[in-house]
């Protein structure tokens, strides 16, 4: 059995070779007609910027507009290969059901380059990160022996604020205080873009 560390790169490479062969066929047909899939590398960067905005606004459908909506699209992870646009969309919505869960997305690009400009194929290699704000509950500390009150670290200002009499109404009562922390999810990706009449779209997404 192949070692798992070799399987993922092999899947990405096989998908790329298949797409390149399709792209060469497409480029031959374009010579006979109008080249509606011509684009620039700046157009690719614009697609990524749009995805960042949509994701950070909680708009998964808008984010998915960056992918090709036909049977050629592939989303390759270390666990599985997703072979339809609707499956990719469905899994994203299951994994990130709310705007809070989606957090704020950012891409850090290492390289944006042409694989075959005549075939309309380009590649983006980079890193992704999602910063989430996680809400947690903490117990308010009761007053110590000296009569002073200890506050839960990082407690919400509105909850822990003083009332008009200058006292905290929940001090010493063991009530829950809401706190937030920031979690960062991150990884790497390799994207293959293909030209379409609507501009460059992601045909293969290898993310880990």
Buried b (16+ CB within 10 A) or exposed e, 96-123: beeeeebbebebeeeebeebeeebbbbb
CATH code, 44: 3.10.450.50
* Residue 163 falls inside a structural domain: no
71 CB neighbour count, 10 Å cutoff: 9
Mean pLDDT of the chain, nearest integer: 78
**DSSP run (H or E) holding 143:** none
pLDDT band at 163; cut points 50, 70, 90: very low
Q: Per-residue pLDDT tens for 54-94?
A: 999 999 999 999 999 999 999 999 999 999 999 999 999 99
* Residue 98 falls inside a structural domain: yes
Q: What is the pLDDT of residue 150?
A: 39
* Residue 171 falls inside a structural domain: no
**Alpha helix segments (H runs only) across 57-143:** 60-63, 85-95, 99-102
Cβ 201 vs Cβ 192: under 8 Å: no
Number of domains in the chain: 1
Q: Please give the average per-residue pLDDT across 126-131, as a whole number.
A: 98
* Residue 29 falls inside a structural domain: no
Range of the domain at 57: 4-19+36-134+182-207
Query: Which pTM was predicted?
Result: 0.69
Q: Which two tokens stand for residue 57?
A: 């606004």
pLDDT at 33 over 50: no
Of 113, 118, 112, 114, the residue nearest 23 (C-alpha): 118
């Amino acid at each position: 059995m192949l070692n798992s560390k070799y399987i993922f790169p092999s899947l990405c490479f096989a998908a790329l070779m298949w797409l390149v062969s399709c792209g060469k066929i497409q480029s031959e047909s374009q010579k006979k007609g109008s080249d509606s899939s011509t684009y620039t590398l700046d157009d690719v960067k614009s697609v990524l910027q749009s995805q960042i905005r949509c994701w950070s606004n909680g708009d998964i459908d808008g984010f998915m507009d960056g992918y090709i909506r036909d049977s050629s699209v592939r989303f390759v992870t270390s666990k599985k290969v997703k072979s339809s646009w609707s499956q990719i969309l469905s899994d994203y919505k299951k994994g990130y059901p709310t705007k809070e869960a989606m957090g704020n997305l950012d891409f850090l690009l290492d390289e944006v380059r042409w694989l075959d400009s005549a075939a309309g194929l380009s590649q983006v290699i980079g890193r992704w990160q999602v910063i989430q704000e996680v809400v947690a509950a903490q117990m308010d500390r009761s007053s110590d022996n000296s009569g002073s009150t200890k506050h839960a670290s990082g407690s919400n200002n509105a909850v822990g604020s003083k009332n008009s009499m200058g006292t905290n109404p929940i001090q010493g009562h063991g009530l829950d205080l809401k706190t937030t922390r920031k979690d960062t999810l991150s990884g790497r990706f390799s994207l293959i873009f293909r030209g379409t009449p609507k501009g460059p779209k992601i045909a293969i997404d290898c993310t880990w």
